[in-house]
Chains A and B, each alone.
Chain A
Amino acid sequence: MPALISIHLQREPFDAAGEAAKLRRGRSDVGAIVTFTGICRGEEAGTTLRAMTLEHHPEMAQAEIARHVETAERRWSLLGVSIIHRFGRIQPGEDIVLVVAAAAHRQDAFAAAEFLMDYLKTRAPFWKQIEYVEGGAGHATNWVDAKQSDDALAERWRPAVGRHEAAE
């Protein structure tokens, strides 16, 4: 059976278990599924969050994520990938992003899921803006700064990335 690939950018919450189940339904070649869910924390650097809002470039995000899924398929033996990235206003405790990787063997599923998450962090055109709770009254908003530690994590995968992806 061919690999099942699905990429969704949506405002609505998602069902992580349901997405994982879709990748194995009706087939017996899947031996490993890694499901990663990124969740909005209620605290950032000691400051309490009221919510965060994710802005994105819809067409570019879809294209950029698809390119990285193709890269993952070339590098590892995958039977399915499901990615959901939410946008809009998200409150602490809510899910932000889902990466599910299905493979015959766990090494491929673990590695592909981690690769895709590292690249979503640094290459997918999404920007987080945080609303802070300030002293219980009123609130301020701030754009989240990109983390050098995230760049370093994405850089680990560099050798396998094709010329197009390495353009930046």
Chain B
Amino acid sequence: MKLRYFAWVRERIGKPEEELELPASVATIAELMDWLSGRGEEYAHAFEDPKVIRAAIDRAHVKADATIVGAREIAFFPPMTGG
């Protein structure tokens, strides 16, 4: 699974993207954030308040309870501040 990180989520994790093998038990965005948090301090810092983190599956916004089954790319980022 390709994971991409943006803005301060990227800064805290320390990389813009990575390919990870996810365990079958990780089925939703919320579960993925929880699983990532266990991978190290930098991930725990990035996902310390999962309520503020936004996610997209294959370039479309999704909620935390969205299933990640079949996803090619998952992106995590803070609330958007464009315009």
- Tell me which residues across on chain B come within 8 A of A143, comparing CB atoms: 7-8, 78, 81
- Bound complex: CA of A104 vs CA of B63, how far in Å? 38
CA distance A81 to B75 in the complex (A): 28
Considering the chains assembled together, what is the distance between the CA atoms of A165 and B82 in angstroms? 17
Do residues A57 and B75 form an inter-chain contact, with CB atoms below 8 A? yes
Contact B83 A167 (CB under 8 A): no
Does more than half of chain B's interface fall in helix, strand or loop, or is it mixed? mixed
In the bound complex, CA of A97 to CA of B77 (Å): 21
A125-B83 contact, Cβ under 8 Å, with A63-B60, A146-B78, A167-B60: no
Kindly report which residue of chain A lies nearest to residue B56, judged by CB atoms. A60
Question: Does A54 sit within 8 A of B, measured CB to CB?
Answer: yes
**Across the interface, do A145 and B81 meet the contact criterion of CB distance under 8 Å?**
yes
- Which stretch in A15-23, A71-79, A126-134 binds the other chain? A126-134
Nearest CB of A to B60, in Å: 7
Which residue, B56, B78, B81, has most C-beta atoms of chain A within 10 A?
A: B81
Q: How far is the CA of A85 from the CA of B83 in the complex (A)?
A: 7
- Cβ-defined contact, A126 with B81, below 8 A: yes
Contact size range, A: 20 to 34
Q: Are A85 and B63 in contact (CB under 8 A)?
A: no
Contacts of B4 in A (CB 8 A): 57
B6 interface neighbour in A57, A59, A120, Cβ under 8 Å: A57
- Is there an interface contact between A123 and B80, defined as CB atoms closer than 8 Å? yes
Point out residues on B near A: beta carbons under 8 Å: 4, 6-8, 10, 54, 56, 59-63, 75, 77-83
**Chain A interface residues toward B at CB < 8 A:** 38, 54-57, 59-61, 63-64, 85, 96-97, 117, 120-129, 143-146, 150, 164, 167-168
